Amino acid sequence: MIISITGVAGTGKTSVARELAKMLNARVIHLSRLTEKVSCGYDKVLRAYVVDTEKLRRVVAGEVKRSCENHVIVEGLLSHHVDSDVIILLRLSPEEIEKRLKKRRYPRVKIKENLEAEILDQIYAECLERARNKKIRIIQINTTGKTVGQIAKRIFNILRCKNYRSAQKVCGVEVLGDYVDWLEKYEKYIIEWEGR
C-alpha cells in the first residue's frame, strides 16, 4: 500500500510518518528531500521551491518501485499529488499552526499563507480533486491536542479496518476520520491579520 501523508506546514506530517512507519514496517519517502531535484524554480518570498508535480510523481513512482517493503509512506506538503492508495490529511487548529510556525521563525507571509490554506480547506479540496474518479480514499485527522503516538495509532486502526462502510462520500470520494471546520476563525486569523 502506498500512503500519502499531507497537510499544511507544521501539522506533524514528518513526525506522524515516522511513528506510523514503525507500526506498519513501512519505508518513508520524505518529499522535502526530493523537492530540489523536482523543482522548476525558487520563490524567494515564500522561501520555497516551486515544484513540477508531474516530475515529482515520476520520481516518487521510481522510488516506490525500488522499495522492497510492502508499505511505503510518502510524506510532505505535496504528497497528495503522487500516485497513492490512500491520502492521510492532517489538520491542526490555526492557533497551534501559528504557534509552531512562529517558533520556526517562518516569515509572516508564509505563516499567513498556511493559516489561510488550513482555514479554507485548501488541501482538503485538492485531495478531493485528486481522489475523484480514482480508487483513492481520504482519511482526515484532526490532530489538535493529540500526541504523535495517538495520531499514528488512530490512522493505523482506520487502515487496518477493512470495513469502509462508515466512510462519508464527498464528491464521490470516500472520506474517513474527522469532520473539520475552522471557518469561524477566518476573521481572527485572516481579516485581522494585518493589524497584529
Ligand X SMILES: Nc1ncnc2c1ncn2[C@@H]1O[C@H](COP(=O)(O)OP(=O)(O)OP(=O)(O)O)[C@@H](O)[C@H]1O
Among 2, 3, 11, 141, binds ligand X (CB under 6 A): 11
112 binds ligand X per the rule CB under 6 A: no
Among 2, 3, 4, 13, binds ligand X (CB under 6 A): 13
Q: Which triple of cell numbers denotes residue 193? A: 491579520
Using the contact rule CB under 6 A, the part of the chain among 39-47, 59-67, 141-149, 161-169 near ligand X is 141-149
Using the contact rule CB under 6 A, the part of the chain among 8-16, 125-133, 155-163, 165-173 near ligand X is 8-16
122 binds Mg ion per the rule CB under 5 A: no
Nearest-angstrom CA–CA distance, 72 and 74: 6
Nearest-angstrom CA–CA distance, 142 and 150: 11
Q: How far is the CB of 136 from ligand X (least distance, A)?
A: 20
Query: Smallest Cα–Cα separation from 178: which of 187, 186, 188, 168?
Result: 168
94 binds ligand X per the rule CB under 6 A: no
Q: How far is the CB of 54 from ligand X (least distance, A)?
A: 22
Contact residues for ligand X, defined by CB under 6 A: 7, 9-15, 32, 77, 100, 143, 146-148, 151
